[in-house]
Structure 1
Amino acid sequence: MRDFWETHHWPEGERRAHWHVLFDDQPAVHNFARAHAEILSPHPELSPVPVQWLHSTLQSIGPLTPAQAGAVAAAGQAALRDFEPFELEIGPAQAIHNAVAPAIYPEDRISELFWTLRRATEGVVGPEVMPKAPDVFWPHMSLAYSNTQWNDDELARALVKLRPSRARMTVTRAVLVSQQQLWRDKYIWTPIAEVHLGQNLQHIAVAKSGGERL
């Protein structure tokens, strides 16, 4: 397994806006993550994601001014006004090239959510400032990031044997956050706004002063 942080190093203090699916109100997802703690904890090569910071990234955007963040939130709300909530399952977890990450199924609706928010966000900030769009969106939730290069064969075998029940949930919202990287540890964020699928925009945080980036 490779070092996740080596290729995901943000400038110190930088905050980047992201669209996320969050799991703060999903006990089944929390239980799924906790079921892996005994397997993950013996490995100092891993930086486990605390339950309160579990997330599935829909779209990385980058630094935004408060005005841009408000416009992105409004564009997301307009784009998702008729996008109905949907069911998904998380798991099983697998050791990938730089993390332990369960996939999310089925992929079609959450991928559609990604592309809808991608187009809406591009309409505000422009496609040239966005990270390159993937050929195929891969929905996932990271349980731990690798913090070095190491042989993870033993971990991979343990994950195959564990196989806890998949976590089931209904996706009802997409959350725009101002995200910060705690180097070689985890990501944390402050919510900017959330969009309830098929409903209206619910503002959580009011834009900050002047040209401060979110």
Structure 2
Amino acid sequence: MTSSPEWTHRHHEELRDHWWWRPGWKIGTRFYAWHITVDDQPGLHELAERYQAELATVPGLDLIPRDWLHLTMQGDGFVEDVPPEQVEAILAAARNRLGEIAAFEAHFGRPVVTAEAIILPPDPVEPFDQLRTAVRAAIGDALGPTAVPEEANGYRPHISLAYVNAQQPAANAIQAIERVTAGAARTSIRTVSLIEMHRDNRMYEWRTVEAVRLANR
């Protein structure tokens, strides 16, 4: 049995503002990315709300509303750099790649405090790595292997509960988490979505371009 990576249970000691502008980003920027959205996961919503009720007592955190909870997977590029025909080619390749991967169940349990967010890591991690590898392969199928953005290594799948908006010690956030008694939420992973996202309102918001289905179990 594979042991959980250290990042899934080790807290950071210091927090920093998440909302600095990454290269190429500004108000009005639109970006294509692949996410797993969790609109239809009531158990996960309940778990998130229990932890967020305590995290709400910690200054310097932006709690993520239920509608915008997500598991980040892979960037595609700024909308102005990815013409519609490339979007269609990527989607077609993703349908082929993801259609060969069976839907699966994952658990989300105790949050972890990272430098810029409070996150829920999945258990197990490996199926999400497999999904991201398939998405990256689909982008390579459509655009060529050198056109796949972001690094292949270093991926840490997670669902964020809150983003940090001020530099501070992590102790208050850690204590808030430790005040909660809750089990893990079982989550069904059935689709991976191409979204068009922005962060104009100090939150990641999006429209879904297409939810690509995994194979039935």
TM-score range, shorter chain: 0.7 to 0.9
- Whether 2:42 is the aligned partner of 1:27: answer yes
- Whether 2:140 is the aligned partner of 1:122: answer yes
Task: Say which of 104, 107, 113 aligns to 2:122.
Answer: 104
- Whether 2:18 is the aligned partner of 1:4: answer yes
Secondary structure class of the residue paired with 1:20: strand
Map of 2:103 onto structure 1: 85
Residue 71 of structure 1, CA deviation: 1.4
Residue 126 of structure 1, CA deviation: 4.1
Map of 1:208 onto structure 2: none
Cα deviation code 1:174-204 (max 9, x no counterpart): 1111111124x211111111111027xxxxx
In structure 2, C-alpha distance between the alignment counterparts of 1:51 and 1:103, rounded to whole Å? 17
Map of 2:184 onto structure 1: 166
Q: Which runs of 4+ in 1 moved over 6 A?
A: none
Map of 1:179 onto structure 2: 197
Task: Please say if residues 64 and 203 of structure 2, whose CA atoms lie closer than 8 Å, have aligned partners that are also in contact.
Answer: yes
Residue 125 of structure 1, CA deviation: 3.4
Residue 152 of structure 1, CA deviation: 2.2
Residue 118 of structure 1, CA deviation: 1.0
Secondary structure class of the residue paired with 2:111: coil
AA of the residue aligned to 1:48? L
Cα deviation code 1:46-89 (max 9, x no counterpart): 11110011000111111222222111111100111221101101
RMSD of equivalent CA atoms? 1.8
Aligned length: 198
Task: Please say if residues 107 and 139 of structure 1, whose CA atoms lie closer than 8 Å, have aligned partners that are also in contact.
Answer: yes
Task: Please say if residues 140 and 148 of structure 2, whose CA atoms lie closer than 8 Å, have aligned partners that are also in contact.
Answer: yes
Secondary structure class of the residue paired with 1:59: strand
In structure 1, C-alpha distance between the alignment counterparts of 2:60 and 2:147, rounded to whole Å? 33
Secondary structure class of the residue paired with 2:204: strand
In structure 1, C-alpha distance between the alignment counterparts of 2:40 and 2:130, rounded to whole Å? 22
Residue 91 of structure 1, CA deviation: 2.2
Secondary structure class of the residue paired with 1:142: strand
In structure 1, C-alpha distance between the alignment counterparts of 2:113 and 2:105, rounded to whole Å? 25
Map of 1:14 onto structure 2: 29
AA of the residue aligned to 1:21? I
Task: Please say if residues 92 and 163 of structure 1, whose CA atoms lie closer than 8 Å, have aligned partners that are also in contact.
Answer: no
Structure 1 pair 42–8 and aligned structure 2 pair: CA distance change class (3 A): farther
Cα deviation code 1:110-132 (max 9, x no counterpart): 11011111111133234555433
Map of 1:191 onto structure 2: 208
Map of 2:75 onto structure 1: 60
- Whether 2:64 is the aligned partner of 1:49: answer yes
Structure 1 pair 129–5 and aligned structure 2 pair: CA distance change class (3 A): farther
Secondary structure class of the residue paired with 1:186: coil
Give unpaired runs (5+ residues) of structure 1. 200-214
The two structures have a TM-score, normalised by structure 1, of 0.86
In structure 2, C-alpha distance between the alignment counterparts of 1:16 and 1:41, rounded to whole Å? 29
Residue 109 of structure 1, CA deviation: 1.0
Cα deviation code 1:156-187 (max 9, x no counterpart): 1221342421111111111111111124x211
